[in-house]
Amino acid sequence: MNNLAPAELVLVKKACEITRDALNYCKSLIKPGISTKELDILVEKFIIDSGAKPACKGYEGYPATICASVNEMVVHGIPSKDVILKEGDIISVDLVVEYKGYHGDATRTFPVGKISEEKQKLIKVTEECFFKGVEKLKVGCRLGELSHAIQSHAEANGFSVVRELVGHGIGKSMHEPPNVPNYGKVTDGPIVTENACLAIEPMINMGRKEVWLVEDGWGVITRDGKASAHYENTVHVTKNGVEIWTL
Ligand code: CO
């Protein structure tokens, strides 16, 4: 479990605030006809103008600022001028901001214009999964209590949980211990300690849980071609409760 010092927590919090603002800005740009490449260029400028850095760009060779994952794409959609949003799509925008060496990470799934009722339900349940998990998170609990709550809520609504990708600790690095799975038993995982910073990120599929990697080596899509949603925040665990820093 990562435990950050007070001076480090200030910087993670600032990175999280820029992450939140960049996602809100991105939301304001989303409309039928815009390409995911245009979103990427504008959001990158926003982050740099905020005095921060886009942390995904160059991370293990990832070529862009945002991950823009449309419909059946689960995560890590590389922005492209050829991916043009249309009415009825859903798009998950995942971005990580680095501020003075510390990171904030968040994701939202946005509707493009009017979307189907089942896509609305998928987005709503995915957000609820995050909050059901966070309700269980406290100093001294087992991380598996959060994981189990997320899985239970997704499956109770007829959806499935992606296994191949998980949440993570965050701080000086984008990815730190522990892993934060969105499935599992209440007895799984480490005991949660004070001042942990965690990126909690349910990825929920409308159909089956299985996924494929696409040819670019990054994009992950559902095998059954049905839609997927993603909701992520960076949180700070204190002895008085959990603070959600990217909200
Ligand atoms: Co993350």
How does pLDDT run across 174-212, given as a tens digit for each residue?
999 999 999 999 999 999 999 999 999 999 999 999 999
How much distance in Å is there from the Cα of 7 to the middle of ligand 1? 22
**Cα–chain-centroid distance for residue 31?**
21
Task: Kindly state the percentage of the chain with pLDDT values over 70.
Answer: 100
Per the CB < 8 A criterion, the answer to whether 92 and 107 are in contact is yes
State the pLDDT at residue 215: 96
**Cα–chain-centroid distance for residue 60?**
18
Per the CB < 8 A criterion, the answer to whether 14 and 171 are in contact is no
Q: Where are the domains of the chain?
A: 6-244
Q: Choose the CATH number for 6-244 among 3.90.1580.10, 3.90.230.10, 3.40.50.620, 3.40.50.10860.
A: 3.90.230.10
Mean pLDDT of the chain: 97
How does pLDDT run across 15-56, given as a tens digit for each residue?
999 999 999 999 999 999 999 999 999 999 999 999 999 999
DSSP 45-74: HHHHHTT-EESSTTGGG--SSEEEEETTEE
- Burial code of 123-132, b = ≥16 C-beta within 10 A, e = fewer? bebbbbbbbb
Looking at the DSSP assignment, which residues form a beta bridge with residue 68?
93
Task: Kindly state the percentage of the chain with pLDDT values over 90.
Answer: 98
Q: What is the pTM of this model?
A: 0.96
State the pLDDT at residue 3: 85
Task: Name residue 87's amino acid.
Answer: E
How much distance in Å is there from the Cα of 201 to the middle of ligand 1? 6
DSSP 17-52: HHHHHHHHHHHHH--TT-BHHHHHHHHHHHHHHTT-
How much distance in Å is there from the Cα of 105 to the middle of ligand 1? 5
List the one residue out of 212, 184, 200 whose CA is nearest residue 245.
Answer: 200
How much distance in Å is there from the Cα of 19 to the middle of ligand 1? 12
Structure tokens at 197: 């910073």
State the pLDDT at residue 100: 98
How much distance in Å is there from the Cα of 135 to the middle of ligand 1? 19
Other Cβ atoms less than 10 A from the Cβ of 31: the count is 11
Cβ-based burial of 23 (10 A; exposed 0-12, middle 13-18, buried ≥19): buried
User: How does residue 223 score in pLDDT terms, banded at 50, 70 and 90?
Assistant: very high
State the pLDDT at residue 1: 85
How much distance in Å is there from the Cα of 69 to the middle of ligand 1? 14
How much distance in Å is there from the Cα of 87 to the middle of ligand 1? 27
